[in-house]
Amino acid sequence: MHANFELDIAADLAEAVAMLADADGPGVAPLAGGTNLIVDIRAKRYRPRRLVGLDRVEALRGIADDGGRVRIGGRTTVTELLESPLIAATAPSLVQSARAFAGQMVRNTATVAGNIACGSPAADLVPPLLALDAELTLVSRSSSRTVALADFYQGYKKDVRRPDELIAAISWEKPAAGSHSRYYKLARRKGDAITVTGVAVSIVLDRGVCTRARIALGAVAPVVLRARSAEATLVGHGLTKERIGEAAAQAASASSPIDDVRASAAYRRHAVEVLTRRLVTDAWQPPI
Amino acid sequence: MVQEKQVTLSVNGRSRTGRFPAHRTLLEALRELGHTEVKCGCEKGDCGACAVLVDGKAVDSCLTLVWTAEGRAITTVVGLGNAQSPHPLQKAFAESGAAQCGYCIPGMVIAAKSLLDRNPDPGEEDVRIALSGNLCRCTGYTKIFEAVSTAAAALREEGGVR
Amino acid sequence: MSTTRDDRGSAPNVGYRQIGRPLTRTDAPGKVTGRTLYAGDYSMPGMLHVKIVRADLASARLVRIDVSRARALAGVECILTGADLPDRTAATDIPGQTGRKRLNTDQQILVKERIRYFGEPLALIAAQSRDIAEQAAELVEFDLEPLPGVYDPEEALKPGAPLVSGSGDNVVAEYRIRKGDVDAGFGAADVVVERTYRTPFQEHAFLEPEVGLAWIDENEVVNIRVSTQVIEHFRTIAEAIGVPHNKVRILGALVGGGFGGKEDMTVEIYLALLAQRTRRPVRLEYSREDSFVGHGKRHPFKLTYRTGVTRDGRITALRISAIADSGAYVFLSPYVLLYCAVASPGPYRIDNLDFHGRAVATNNMYTSAFRGFGGMQACAAYEQQMDEVAKVIGMDRIEFRRRNFLRTGESISTGFVPPSAIWTEECVDRAWAALGEPTRVAYPLKIGRGVAAYLQSYGRLTFLHDTSEAWVGVEMDGTVVVRSGVTDIGAGQASALGQIAAEVLGVTLDNVVIYNSDSAVTPLAGTTTATRALYMTGNAAKLAAEAVRKRLAAGAAQELGVAADQVDFGDNRVFVVHEPARSMAMIDLVRACAARGIHRSELAIFRAPFSDPLDPQTGQGQAHPDYVFGAQAVEVAVDVETGEVTVLRSVAAHDVGQCVNRAAVEGQIEGGTQNGQGFALSEEMLYHEGRLLTPSFSEYLMPTSMDMPKVQSIILESRSGVGPFGAKGIGEPALTPVAPAIANAVADAIGVRVFELPMTPERVVRAIQEMERQI
């Protein structure tokens, strides 16, 4: 591979944000797992001037039970998600997504922050995190702020992260009793494939009534998006077959997919409806 | 001007030094240093032929910049064993006929090693998930599954990690 | 997993010591320990690195190319463009050991003016490092003027379609087979069923991209160490660069996968030209993207089958029309089409047959050899058609096949009677039975099962007059050396020769070393293609070893004081047949023979049957030495809402004649099953106006460890083949029936057929939706 960039390897978080402090555009970027960034650089889709290596920044690692919230460092790898009992207990949809994520070597390196920051609508961790109402902690040398993942993306590969900021952490509220989350990745093969349509649902049941619903759709719009009208259809009701079907149809209408080498827009819209119906039904009547 | 620096790597327990630019991948650097057992198949993390262990975990060396590997313990398939004293995985791969053209095998064995180090008694589904980033065009994976399960049993019998 | 049926042989089991066992191959230890050097693992002092600049349009005129900025970059040693190579072309016709006249298939080496496919090479850059070569490539400026192109073979057949090359039309090859009276056959039919099947481009997807290293030695010989299936390309290379044949030497290495994709030349001529110009060693390794656009693909076919059948399931007539996309250059298209023609009715007795096929030039990527070579595309059609016809007449799919199977001693499409056993029926029954009880599932999953039978040739076209050579010798310590040019592309081609020599000479495999794949010093064996290596070179090695054995046996007879026919060889010893205690070690025998001046080596040649070409009007005659027969049975689960297909079970049953290495035979079957499953379900090369939209392994999806079932191999041994010990071959046959078996299983599951491969989730869903609309 040939490219022209400088590489600064940060020893700790303070050094990392200092190295990024003068970043004024996409020419300077943090390098975490590199599983997207290096591919883009090699293909000359991305020509950085300087990269800041985060692989030694221990403060960006770790999965913690932070009282009422689950909090993970931005540099947590997909494999670390899979190996965490806390994630297994609190975010089964994230585990389902991590299991279907690329291959072992990529899972061992790719990070949660990197998957969010790459901005791909097919990023597999984003739909389950969105359905969990995840929040991102963005830090720079001079600031720290919290942004809801739902507010992070501004358009295709556009987001609110400033060039001098890192996604330092991702957190979400520990699910209440009666909550169920599911993710399904539909792809053209089972192993190591780019998602054709990914749907995550997260619902809370209270005495036969759906009190909270989140439906997140991947690879069917310029960004991973919430199907809010479908969610509204579910909340406050017992979920009949008809009501779930109505929500699934609304989710399909909320999507705005394109034709590409993996599938047509029509098929993706069909898949959104099928998967939303299945996942909500399954979450509503979880196997005992 | 391309930024270069001297990088010292620990490969299979030995110190190896070279001068590399920032954009040099670990795959390219290892091959420049004579570690031709690390294979180049796609240079974008799709095939797994270049897998090596970095601090015990399998990574695609084509997606790793060599500067970031400095000071870490790198293990290639050569570091696991040799023809006289093969690692149980190598022995099982050879005896079960899991190597055909053999080009994917250095990466496949490394991915299997990374699995068995963390899960000494994997089920078939665990093996499938662990190897899904290693493409093979010759074997249909059938004998590779057999080899990994044979090696896992042999390692458990030995009662230790190798 | 394997079970064997060996109690029904045309020859008795002679109690082999080495043959038929799953021995650890001679190449295995080096491969699993990382010690094996592939062609890309060699380097030389002062070596230059090469990068190819490629056209980014599929049909265009090169208006201007300016390499001055690239040439000015420090470290760039040489840049060649078409203007530097006036009148240089390379033949793309069938390679190897044949003195037969070639077809007119020459291709420009670098674009002179006309660009005919996306990625056609415009310039070669040799530089001191890969980085510099890559930077220089970005500095090459060129202007292309788009020209009307044609990207669909049916469009290319229409009057007025843009011509890809030359004058006249875009048809590059045309074959007919005419047998019996088809019109009378249709007249005798109760039902006529016509269906059209489409098969796609396919990428070989070997894991080792094309790579080579060339240098000129002290004898002015151009040496090329290259990953290839065919070292005999040295002749074509010599002609292309203007030197005598004996001034080019190809050194192979163990090949990191071929599958037909390294049958044509890849990097050789570029390297030879640059070594000539620079007088430096030059190395060229394709990136994966180069590989996707840099070698020929599998021919897409459109196949229309019109079958006449009686109510009781007898096929009375078959008319077939085939159109193959040859892409921008001819390469092996005529032969691929011919294989399709010969195989087109499948392993069935068709007395009234009319096949008409054309290979058509387009501005798509050129197409050439790929495991199965036209025969597998034919199988994809004839086996789906068998199910379609059975469905129309309401007959069980296997019973319908049973009523039409070709039996031993009957003639195939060309009127030729294969010399070996035809065990198709037994293969179908065994594979089907092995599926066992159907898997139980609930909606939205549906289970389906399918079977496909096939015939596939082994050995090259007999009118090519194929030969192969091997040398076997015994060293003074009793160890054995085999020398043969055969290339080993991963199936254990070299190890098999060792096993054959070991069997004949009574030594163990660890006492044999094989030197192969060097056009200057190992006897030329011909190509590792066409399922011919074991058949051809195995026979040559066996002849050579038998000659050595005969002379050693004479020596042993003298030493042991018995007649030569009373001497046998085994376990590295020679002994008296009925008195095994009377024996001597191989090492002592060889020394005694050496002392008497007995010749301890032999160079043997094996000649395949020679024939004339098929009759141009009727297609009748001999095309191949013999055929392999077998079957695949699969069970799938189809998600009828998403269209996802999961292959739950895949069972292959093949009559391989005789296993030489059982594990290697199973390996071929298991790998062929992966290749066929990808072809059926997930592998797709999408082109837009000739431009490949899926040039990577994240877009071109071959099955992974999570997609493949454990493959079950049922190996039958009729010992009736024309290879060594009655062997047939398994390289290509392993792949041939897989895709139609899956297609038949999917149709069985969902009640409607997807007529175009691959059966992507989207195509499956669409087929179901269309069926529901019609109800």
Partner-chain residue, chosen from C31, C489, C704, that has the shortest CB–CB distance to B105: C31
Its sign, for the CA torsion C473, C476, C480, C483, is negative
Distance from CA of A192 to the nearest CA of C (A): 8
Homologous superfamily of domain range B4-79: Beta-grasp domain (3.10.20.30)
CB contact under 8 A, A2 and C135: yes
The CATH class, in words, for B88-158 is mainly alpha
CB contact under 8 A, A42 and B111: no
Percent of chain C's residues with pLDDT above 70: 98
Task: Give the residue carrying structure tokens 């009501």.
Answer: A243
A22 residue type, one letter: D
Q: Where are the domains of chain A?
A: 6-53, 60-173, 179-284
Spatial CA neighbour of A275 closest among A237, A227, A228, A210: A227
Residue C105 pLDDT: 80
Residue C15 pLDDT: 82
B65 CB within 8 Å of a chain A CB: yes
d(CA C502, CA C480): 8
Q: What angle do CA B110, C679, C207 make, to 5 degrees?
A: 30
Q: Where are the domains of chain B?
A: 4-79, 88-158
Mean pLDDT for the stretch of residues C541-549: 98
Identify all chain A residues contacting B114, using CB atoms and an 8 Å cutoff. 104, 108
Residue C14 pLDDT: 60
pLDDT in tens, C190-208: 999 999 999 999 999 999 9
Partner-chain residue, chosen from C641, C694, C704, that has the shortest CB–CB distance to A189: C704
Partner-chain residue, chosen from A1, A41, A55, that has the shortest CB–CB distance to B68: A55
Residue C737 has pLDDT above 70, yes or no: yes
Residue C5 has pLDDT above 50, yes or no: no
- H or E stretch including C388? helix C375-393
Mean pLDDT for the stretch of residues C558-567: 95
Instruction: Kindly report which listed range (A226-240, B101-115, C158-172) carries the lowest average pLDDT score.
Output: C158-172
Residue C350 has pLDDT above 90, yes or no: yes
CA atoms within 13 A on the CB side of A141: 12
A50 CB within 8 Å of a chain B CB: no
The correct CATH number of A6-53 out of 3.30.1360.40, 3.50.50.60, 3.30.43.10, 3.20.20.80 is: 3.30.43.10
CB contact under 8 A, C257 and B47: no
Looking at the domain that runs over A179-284, which CATH code has it been given?
A: 3.30.390.50
CB contact under 8 A, A263 and C707: no
B132 CB within 8 Å of a chain A CB: yes
Mean pLDDT for the stretch of residues A3-30: 96
d(CA B157, CA B141): 24
Mean pLDDT for the stretch of residues A44-62: 96
CB contact under 8 A, C131 and B21: yes
d(CA B43, CA B1): 24
Residue A43 pLDDT: 96
Distance from CA of B10 to the nearest CA of C (A): 18
Identify all chain B residues contacting A106, using CB atoms and an 8 Å cutoff. 45, 60, 63, 133
d(CA A211, CA A177): 12
- At residue C768 the predicted structure's pLDDT band, cuts being 50, 70 and 90, is very high
Residue C432 pLDDT: 98
Residue C451 pLDDT: 98
d(CA C254, CA C243): 27
Residue B161 pLDDT: 57
All domains of chain C in start order, with CATH: 45-147+210-285 (3.90.1170.50), 301-461+613-774 (3.30.365.10), 467-607 (3.30.365.10)
Written as six digits, the tokens of A246 are 């109505």
Instruction: Kindly report which listed range (A128-142, A240-254, C21-35, C99-113) carries the lowest average pLDDT score.
Output: C99-113
d(CA A15, CA A57): 9
pLDDT in tens, C678-717: 999 999 999 999 999 999 999 999 999 999 999 999 999 9
- At residue C229 the predicted structure's pLDDT band, cuts being 50, 70 and 90, is very high
Count the neighbouring beta carbons within 10 Å of the beta carbon of residue C759.
25
Residue C100 pLDDT: 72
C9 or C444: which carries more pLDDT confidence?
C444
B95 residue type, one letter: E
- At residue C3 the predicted structure's pLDDT band, cuts being 50, 70 and 90, is very low
Residue C88 pLDDT: 87
d(CA C737, CA B137): 17
- Average pLDDT value for chain C: 96
Looking at the domain that runs over A60-173, which CATH code has it been given?
A: 3.30.465.10
What per-residue string of b and e applies to A17-50 under the rule 16 or more CB within 10 Å gives b? bbbbeebeeeebbbbbbbbbbbbebbeeebebeb
Residue C421 pLDDT: 98
Written as six digits, the tokens of C150 are 């044609």
pLDDT in tens, C563-602: 999 999 999 999 999 999 999 999 999 999 999 999 999 9
Partner-chain residue, chosen from B43, B59, B132, that has the shortest CB–CB distance to A1: B43
Its sign, for the CA torsion B46, B51, B55, B57, is positive
C536 residue type, one letter: M
- Residues in a beta bridge with C467: C607
Identify all chain C residues contacting B63, using CB atoms and an 8 Å cutoff. none
Q: Which parts of chain B sit beneath pLDDT 50?
A: none
Q: Is-cis flag, bond preceding C334, omega within 30?
A: no
Interface of chain C against chain A, CB under 8 Å? 130-131, 134-135, 641-642, 644, 646, 681-682, 684, 686, 693-694, 698-699, 701, 703-707, 760-762, 765-766
Residue C4 pLDDT: 40
pLDDT in tens, C354-373: 999 999 999 999 999 999 99
Residue C9 pLDDT: 40
Q: Is-cis flag, bond preceding C444, omega within 30?
A: yes
Partner-chain residue, chosen from B68, B132, B133, that has the shortest CB–CB distance to A9: B68
The ipTM (two decimal places) reads 0.98
Helical H segments across A11-117, by residue range: 13-20, 37-42, 78-82, 85-90, 92-99, 104-109, 112-117
